[in-house]
Amino acid sequence: MSLPFNIAIDGHSSCGKSTIAKAVASKYGMRYIDTGAMYRAVTLYCMRNKIITNKEVDLAKLLNALDKITINFEFNAATKQSETILNGENVEQIIRGSKVSDQVSIVAQIEQVREKLITLQQEIGRLKNVVMDGRDIGSIVFPNAKLKLFVTASAEIRAQRRYDELVKKEENVTYKEVLANLTQRDERDTNRKINPLIQAKDAILIDNSDLSIQKQNDLIDDLIITKLRE
């Protein structure tokens, strides 16, 4: 596998992008980068520092703070997963909660935030073989990625998956609340002015609403093997 061999995985929230990306990275010895975690980390910083309140961002305060935000990833040997580090603190579990989920699409649509994180993402992928998932990887971050996937599923199925995850974490939410939040995020992601969620022209669509995990994995393996042979 020659450098850089990058795989871009875009799609709606809770469609399984991260699960796919982690599995591919593990199987093919690539580095996995969860760009959504980066936006979640910035959102957590904003929440902690009262930069975002009642879903309103103090833009001047945020711009002043951007240079103070550092985001890294560390490999956890026990879980065999990459974990998100915000200013030296492991925030992997905190950023996955519903409070951050409620706010992240608001922060993610801010141009200066996207510019900062896209630059970091491109630097990571320049000299390494990476699998990166997000909203604009194939269209903006890695327009020349060797393989681009666009993953989706029906809103109802995605909401059920997310609800099940939150229940396991003992969060007090209802399915209706999760569906409403997911629908709002879809609306913001697809209609924001800066780098909206779109399917890149050369991305392969995977609707996993009715696909088993095994069938999905087999399909993606076939696509990767085809690209490796080119």
Helices 175-191 and 155-168 sit at what angle, rounded to 10 degrees? Answer: 120
User: Nearest-CA neighbor of 109 among 44, 183, 50, 191?
Assistant: 191
Q: State whether residue 223 is helix, strand or coil.
A: helix
Single-letter amino acid code for the residue at 229: R
What is the length of the chain?
Answer: 230
Calculate what percentage of the chain has a pLDDT beyond 90. Answer: 70
pLDDT over 70 at 2, yes or no: no
81 within a domain of the structure (yes/no)? yes
- Number of independent structural domains in the chain: 1
Q: Which residue range is the domain that position 180 belongs to?
A: 7-223
26 within a domain of the structure (yes/no)? yes
214 within a domain of the structure (yes/no)? yes
Q: Tens of pLDDT along 94-151?
A: 999 889 988 998 999 899 999 999 999 998 888 788 999 989 999 999 999 999 999 9
Q: Report the CATH number at residue 24.
A: 3.40.50.300
179 within a domain of the structure (yes/no)? yes
Contact 142, 132 (CB under 8 A): yes
Residues 6 or more apart whose Cβ sits within 8 Å of residue 101: 40, 181, 185
Average pLDDT over residues 34-57: 94
pTM, two decimal places? 0.82
- What is the number of alpha carbons within 13 Å of residue 71 lying toward its C-beta? 28
